[in-house]
Amino acid sequence: MKEEYEAIVVGAGHAGCEAALALARKGHKTLLTTISLDAVAFLACNPSIGGSAKGQLVSEVDALGGEMGIIADKTTLQIRMLNRGRGPAVQSLRAQTDKTQYHTEMKKVVESTPNLFLKQAEVVDIKQKGENIFVKTAVGDIFVAKVVVFATGVYLDSRIIIGSYTEKVGPNGFKNAKKLSSSLRKLGFELQRFKTGTPARVNKRSIDFSQLEVQPGDDDIQSFSFMTDKKAKNSANCYLTYTNPTTHEIIKANLDKAPAISGEIKGVGPRYCPSIEIKIVRFADKDRHQLFLEPEAASTSEIYLQGFSTSMPADIQKEMIHSVKGLENAEIMRDAYAIEYDCINPIQLKPSLESKICEGMFFAGQINGTSGYEEAAAQGIIAGINAALKLEGKDPLILSRSDAYIGVLIDDIVTKGTSEPYRMMTSRAEYRLSLRQDNADLRLTEIGRKVGLVDDKRWKRFLAKKRSLELAKQKILEKMKIDKKIKEFFEKNGENVPKNSISYKEMLKRSNIDAFKINKEFGIFQGLNNDVLNELNLITKFEGYLKQQEEIIEKMKKMEREIIPEDFDYQKQKGLKIETIQKLSQVRPLNLGQASRVSGVSPADIAVLSVLIKKFKEKKGEK
């Protein structure tokens, strides 16, 4: 049987769902395949959405017209703002989500979206003939499309490892994709072998919570989605405990049984989220490590032990867990395991996430060597948008590093590649003060509207917020003479009283005064909601820093406007080092800015390259 679609998305995890929804919402007949319908948008590891830098990604996906933030808000058990005591540049939302409900809600959206067809099928072979891509399934069905998005997660030739036990399955025991890796190799893709892991789950009834530190949620903080009206309620607590010297001794005494140490695991694991046995070896000076106990769902007693990822044998896992305060009698419901899987080298991709090897093939999520649900969703929506734009004969959407964390993520992996599962962090974003979670809609909603994903309801809300913010900016320019009321206001807030007149803007720049206090005292922002006032606070208090960052961004954009012609042959250029020629030939950067970020390419190389590009264009009669 052969069926034709405009687009096919292989894999229905977080990347696949966003890609398929973007394609279908833009009016393209799209097939979304998944190895198991029970695995659609499944939270296979941590039952949470967001986190440091990841919260920004979720709100950016939302601002572009994606779904993750909406579903996360609907299914939140607890929500917190991380780094609340630090500056706004590093503050990120993190929510404990109901993993059962999250899967159910996302599956409902996928099933009810016009132009989108969901099918349980294992894709085993890919062939390209002319403009068409042929996708073959294990049962012999053949589907044809002009574009295909690969979003296979950690399922490619995957195996789980628990001590000496291994099994060729995907996460949570789901069936894996056994044959697709070899098909990709035949097409010319270079594959890498990575690994990740997940901790044990224990029964809530067996935990002594009286010995643990309570980690409550935060009230009155923003949601992930700018379309969420009803703020999420904190209906569950998380808890904190620690490993101890006894735990560490148990691990040290059994390192010979640890696959991560013995060499049984060949895949490269995430440096920033290592297993507990790796932590004990790497940080031998520490006598304890944090463990967070997090609920999996309202409908289950399973508790996730964050920070206790391991691939130790099951009996050793039990001994390790029982050595921890509060977990002395813990009943293990699911053993921890490591999982190895294939992924591609992302240097084989263009910044649009289209393959350089096979036209019309796009890649998103963990198949690109990244880790995390949020990183996957971010790539998914961009791959879906660009696959749709390709069908429409339009230029791709490429977000720059100054536009979004999504731009940083994609630029990093396609320009530098990755030798381990890539995780987004605030430190990777050089313009993070401009790329805050609170202003994701102001940065990206217009872009989402332009590419056709932002609907009228979201657009109307965005324009209303923009108008309110402009009104507030005008309001704070008003000046007032110092009277008794103002004098008392300054004294009450521990600020020196100004001698002459003062504007509300100058008031706002004082450390102990904010827009909420001004509004309460003087009532000048009546009718404006808290999101607008919060935005006003930040852009006013950090005005000087933001201006400096804008100047740096403009210099970077100037380099990115210097486009490198597609037919520019690095091999024929004199003046560049052999190593530089090899690296630039491999990456094929779009512009001088991207070329400057290729590993091993120096500022001196860029200066030479700039001259060579100008000469090349002059010779061809181009500007």
Structural domains of the chain in order of their starting residue, each with its CATH number: 2-194+341-450 (3.50.50.60), 201-339 (2.40.30.260), 473-543 (no CATH), 561-620 (1.10.150.570)
pLDDT single digits (tens) 161-212: 999 999 999 999 999 999 999 999 999 999 999 999 999 999 999 999 999 9
pTM: 0.95
| pLDDT at residue 623 is higher than 80 | no
pLDDT, position 619: 85
Read out DSSP for 520-565?
HHH-TTTT--HHHHHHHHHHHHTHHHHHHHHHHHHHHHHHHTSBPP
* pLDDT classification of 1: cutoffs 50, 70, 90: low
Cα 610 to Cα 598: distance, rounded to the nearest angstrom? 15
Using CA atoms, how far apart are residues 71 and 74, in angstroms rounded to an integer? 5
The rounded distance, in Å, linking the Cα atoms of 611 and 427 is 32
What pLDDT is attached to residue 232? 82
Confidence of residue 39 (pLDDT cuts 50, 70, 90): very high
Contact 331, 206 (CB under 8 A): yes
| Partners of residue 162 on adjacent β-strands | 165
pLDDT (0 to 100) of residue 262? 82
Q: pLDDT band for 85, please (50, 70, 90 cuts).
A: confident
Q: For all residues of the chain together, what is the average pLDDT?
A: 95
Section 87-109 average pLDDT:
96
Interval 537-578: pLDDT, tens: 999 999 999 999 999 999 999 999 999 999 999 998 888 999
* Across 457-464, average pLDDT: 97
Higher pLDDT, 11 or 222: 11
pLDDT cut 90: percent of the chain above it: 91
- Token duo for residue 366: 């963990």
Token couple for 572: 């024929």
What pLDDT, on a 0 to 100 scale, did the predictor assign at position 233?
A: 85
- Among 146-155, 216-225, 497-506, the range of highest mean pLDDT: 146-155
Is the pLDDT at 361 greater than 90? The verdict is yes
Q: What pLDDT was estimated at residue 270?
A: 81
CA distance 272 to 354: 28
Of 159, 570, 476, 174, the closest CA to residue 342 belongs to 159
Mean pLDDT is lowest, of 76-80, 153-157, 278-282, for 278-282
Q: With bands split at pLDDT 50, 70 and 90, how would you rate the model's confidence at 231?
A: confident
Condensed to tens digits (0 to 9), the pLDDT of residues 484-517 reads: 999 999 999 999 999 889 999 999 999 999 999 9
- Which residue's entry shows tokens 């890649």? 363
